[in-house]
Amino acid sequence: MAEWRHALIPARPPVPRPIVSISPTRFADLSACMCRAAFEQDPTFADARHASPASVMGSVAHSVVEAAYRGDFAGEANPRRAAIDLWDRLVTEAAQGVPAAPEPSRWRDYQMKRLRAATQAAAVTRRQPRARSSSGEHRGTRVEEWLVSRDGRVRGRPDRIEVADGKVTVIDLKTASLDEGDVPLAYQQQLQLYAWLHHEVTAGWPDAAAIETLAGDRLFVDVDPDVCNQVAADAIKAMEAFNRLAESAANFIPLATPDVEHCRYCRYRGGCPAFVAAADESWGAFRAMVGGSLVGDEGDKNDERIRCLTVRVDAGTIEVGGQARIRGELGTSPLPQGTWVVADRVVPEVALHDYWVDWDSLLWTWATDFRAAGTGGERTTRG
């Protein structure tokens, strides 16, 4: 049987491994959707986890700005040019892990993020503090140091810990646009966990904690020891609750919390019955989700790599009730009629009800009606 260019991911309830230690990011995942966290902890869904342009650019932007804080551009005549060169090299390396992606220069917001990261890195280089202030106090920046709690159950790596004139500030860089006074709760708790970890390691609380944007703006979050202690306790409780469910062979599908924001960037949503049942035209975006029973599968007469799947649309972010054609470089092996298919993040074509399987689309197959699958408490064991 010929291979498909896009992996067909069999949909089933996730079978997660227990979480060994919790990080601020993992706590945010557990708080947003326990089901998504379970998919993350199940290694058999690796095909859904390839890198995306957004994740690559976010990671590279972090690396470029943090390089500036380490002083990597201090001896450069043109720090901005050096930062751009670093960006280009890191993106080229990282893009190798994004299968079939277009050239990075064609990624959405690519040039804007590239220039913002380089401009911020140059600004950091120009204002880099000396090792000691005028009063003789130590100044410095610790970049991406791992902090681990005394019992080893909580760990995290803030982007920076700045020390200036005896004052300690925990900084986390975010590439998303944020407004003053509009720091999401997940970001607040992330910084509060970093502050708690800093106290665990040093026995001292940081004086401040802030989100820093690519524009260089800082949005501060209160470092209240009582609040930070409570957030840490909540994170540990969330991990323990997750692990109890994982070890008891629980079904995580009923724990899904589908909504537009939670599901927007979830790579597993095409395999989640809760999302497929909840999403409709009001969730619409340029990229569509089309779900239904396969009624036709044929190849393209002019290009053997192209196949066209015709499905009866019973769910999706498009109008249901009719049929839709899903086209793409899918390979040469046909699927049996009646197979339940969810094509996620497909691109509308010019012809009405036609959708193209793009390089980062995901195709899921279901053994049964996906709207009912995984909600009856059944357990799928590892193969």
If asked whether residues 356 and 269 sit together in one domain, one would say: yes
Look at residue 249 and tell me if it is in a domain: no
Tens of pLDDT, residues 300-351: 778 877 889 999 999 999 988 899 999 988 766 788 888 899 999 999 987 7
Residue 327: CATH number of its domain = 2.40.50
Residue ranges for the chain with pLDDT beneath 50: 1-4, 130-138, 374-383
If asked whether residues 74 and 161 sit together in one domain, one would say: no
If asked whether residues 288 and 315 sit together in one domain, one would say: yes
Tokens 């909600």, residue located: 375
If asked whether residues 265 and 338 sit together in one domain, one would say: yes
Output the six-digit token pair for 259.
Answer: 């909504």
Helix (H) or strand (E) holding 350: none
pTM: 0.82
pLDDT at 170: 95
If asked whether residues 113 and 179 sit together in one domain, one would say: no
Q: Write the single-letter amino acid at 149.
A: S
Look at residue 19 and tell me if it is in a domain: no
pLDDT at 311: 94
Tokens 């793409």, residue located: 328
If asked whether residues 271 and 324 sit together in one domain, one would say: yes
pLDDT at 296: 92
Question: Parallel, antiparallel, or unpaired for β 288-299 and 147-148?
Answer: unpaired
pLDDT at 371: 61
If asked whether residues 214 and 122 sit together in one domain, one would say: no
Tens of pLDDT, residues 204-255: 999 999 998 877 888 999 999 999 999 999 999 999 999 999 999 999 999 9
pLDDT at 369: 61
Look at residue 250 and tell me if it is in a domain: no
Residue pair 172/187 in contact by the 8 Å Cβ criterion? yes
pLDDT at 46: 86
Instruction: Kindly report the three-state secondary structure assignment for every residue of 185-217.
Output: HHHHHHHHHHHHHHHHHHCCCCCEEEEEECCCC
If asked whether residues 185 and 281 sit together in one domain, one would say: no
Number of domains in the chain: 3
Give the Cα separation of 82 and 67 in Å (integer).
11
pLDDT at 129: 54
Domain that holds residue 94: 50-126
pLDDT at 101: 76
Look at residue 21 and tell me if it is in a domain: no
If asked whether residues 120 and 170 sit together in one domain, one would say: no
Residue 213: CATH number of its domain = 3.90.320.10
If asked whether residues 212 and 175 sit together in one domain, one would say: yes
Look at residue 244 and tell me if it is in a domain: no
Residue pair 355/327 in contact by the 8 Å Cβ criterion? yes
pLDDT at 180: 61
If asked whether residues 265 and 348 sit together in one domain, one would say: yes
Which of 213, 233, 253 terminates a domain? The answer is 233
pLDDT at 86: 97
pLDDT at 4: 42
Look at residue 178 and tell me if it is in a domain: yes
